[in-house]
């Protein structure tokens, strides 16, 4: 069985000669997949049982244990998890849910799935691109029922101020922890949290997600709703030799299969090491960028708890972002943007017109996401910073 070193180069390995862009393109995100995952998938196929079963249960227990929770519920995506949480909390028409605009659109979409209304909140600042307590307070109304907190880029939202904010107003806290697998404290701030295992996340099952919830009754309601609201699943009925079931709630087809759970178990076993590699790469990025690209701003103060899901930077206001993207692309370096503000997307501009969020819009206009993943090494970071420096002076 291969070692972690074989799967993901150590961040501080000696730098090899620089490859040409054609030889090695640097992607923003790249999953670590290898022989262990292949063996795990083969084992599932050979078993003859590929739908939700023992591996899903084992993955749920292992994930819950890593995140300090009693149990977890594996689902088909983080989006599915958020939808199930909102449904189980009985949020619906007439209710308002505070959400950041600096997030993937699924955060807001899930509020609409249950018939509630998303209310977009600004970020605290371009240096702290997490949801603003002050703007949230200003936008609370008697209809506000819940807040969805997003651990953007893998950085932990400050727990205590948000708990106090929610307690004072009788609101429910929900975590969109799509960027936060393995982050200490994530999944414990509020009623429930949803994590993502999409292909660009810190660990992956290709598609998939996980829900954690403190209240066992809430957790079991989510567990039942993920499988059409059936009182028993196929695997349970096989083992109990009882073919009957009942449906006691409206449910969905949001299950995870055995193949994805098998991938998840392997990936989870390496998550701490991969997150540590991300931390080392981020530290090097920060050091080199401050020395070589002082005009580039770095959001988040160093030391904030994080699993360093992405490497966001802010280009100088005078820089033409697309020209920088093109220049790095010509050198075999992919970059991207996290995110187009949700309130500025066409759908939400039509259905939620007139929303203005100055800090979010300022951040999004200058943000650029650099490559960051455990297959990178020290040389790769230097290559990116050199290319960025040269692009900015071109």
**pLDDT for the residue numbered 5:** 39
Grade residue 1 by pLDDT with cuts at 50, 70 and 90. very low
Together in a domain, 54 and 186: yes
Reference 210, options 234, 186, 232; nearest CA is 186
d(CA 374, CA 4): 10
For the record, the structure tokens of 77 come out as 């995506």
Grade residue 238 by pLDDT with cuts at 50, 70 and 90. low
Please confirm, yes or no, whether 38 is among the known catalytic residues.
no
Together in a domain, 113 and 239: yes
Q: Domain boundary at 264, 296, 318, which?
A: 264
d(CA 271, CA 184): 12
Name the catalytic one among 83, 145, 179, 201: 201
**pLDDT for the residue numbered 134:** 98
Give the number of residues written for the chain. 394
Which CATH number covers residue 191?
Answer: 3.40.640.10
Together in a domain, 50 and 168: yes
The number of distinct structural domains making up the chain is: 2
Average pLDDT over residues 91-110: 98
**pLDDT for the residue numbered 3:** 36
CA dihedral of 7, 12, 13, 19, whole degrees rounded to 10: 80
**202 lies in which domain range?**
37-264
- The CA-to-CA distance between both ends of the chain, in Å, stands at 47
Which CATH number covers residue 304?
Answer: 3.90.1150.10
Together in a domain, 256 and 306: no
Q: Domain boundary at 242, 264, 286, which?
A: 264
Average pLDDT over residues 90-118: 98
Three-state secondary-structure class, residue 62? helix
Q: Above 70 in pLDDT, residue 4?
A: no
d(CA 225, CA 229): 4
pLDDT digits (tens, 9 = 90+) for 302-316: 999 999 999 999 999
Mean pLDDT of the chain: 93
**pLDDT for the residue numbered 13:** 53
pLDDT digits (tens, 9 = 90+) for 265-312: 999 999 999 999 999 999 999 999 999 999 999 999 999 999 999 999
Q: Above 90 in pLDDT, residue 319?
A: yes
pLDDT digits (tens, 9 = 90+) for 149-184: 999 999 999 999 999 999 999 999 999 999 999 999
Q: Above 70 in pLDDT, residue 16?
A: no
Together in a domain, 209 and 136: yes
């Amino acid at each position: 069985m291969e070692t972690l070193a074989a799967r993901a180069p150590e961040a501080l390995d000696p730098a090899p000669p620089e490859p040409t862009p054609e030889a090695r393109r640097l992607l923003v995100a790249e999953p670590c997949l290898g022989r262990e995952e292949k063996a795990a998938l083969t084992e599932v196929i050979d078993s003859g049982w590929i739908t939700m079963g023992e591996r899903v249960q084992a993955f749920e227990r292992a994930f819950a244990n890593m995140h300090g929770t009693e149990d977890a519920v594996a689902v088909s995506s983080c989006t599915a998890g958020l939808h199930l949480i909102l449904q189980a909390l009985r949020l619906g028409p007439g209710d308002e849910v505070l959400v950041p605009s600096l997030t993937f659109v699924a955060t807001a979409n899930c509020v609409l799935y249950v018939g509630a209304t998303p209310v977009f909140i600004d970020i605290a600042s371009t240096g702290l691109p997490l949801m603003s307590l002050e703007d949230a307070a200003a936008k609370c109304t008697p209809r506000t029922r819940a807040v969805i907190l997003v651990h953007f880029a893998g950085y932990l939202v400050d727990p205590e101020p948000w708990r106090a904010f929610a307690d004072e107003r009788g609101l429910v806290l929900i975590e969109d922890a799509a960027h936060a697998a393995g982050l200490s404290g994530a999944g414990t701030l509020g009623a429930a949290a949803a994590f993502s295992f999409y292909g660009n996340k810190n660990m992956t099952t290709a598609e998939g997600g996980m829900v954690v919830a403190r209240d066992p009754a809430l957790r079991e309601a989510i567990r039942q709703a993920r499988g059409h609201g059936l009182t028993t699943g196929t695997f349970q009925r096989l083992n109990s030799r009882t073919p009957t079931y009942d449906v006691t709630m409206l449910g969905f087809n949001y299950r995870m299969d055995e193949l994805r759970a098998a991938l998840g178990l392997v990936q989870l076993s390496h998550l701490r090491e991969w997150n540590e590699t991300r931390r080392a790469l981020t530290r090097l990025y920060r050091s080199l960028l401050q020395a070589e690209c002082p005009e580039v701003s770095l959001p988040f103060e160093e030391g904030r708890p994080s699993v360093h899901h992405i490497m966001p930077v802010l280009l100088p206001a005078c820089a033409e972002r697309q020209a920088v993207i093109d220049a790095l692309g010509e050198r075999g370096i992919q970059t991207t943007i996290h995110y187009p503000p949700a309130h500025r997307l066409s759908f939400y501009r039509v259905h939620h017109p007139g929303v203005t969020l100055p800090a979010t819009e300022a951040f999004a206009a200058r943000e650029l996401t650099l490559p960051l993943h455990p297959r990178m090494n020290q040389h790769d970071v230097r290559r990116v910073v050199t290319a960025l420096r040269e692009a900015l002076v071109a």
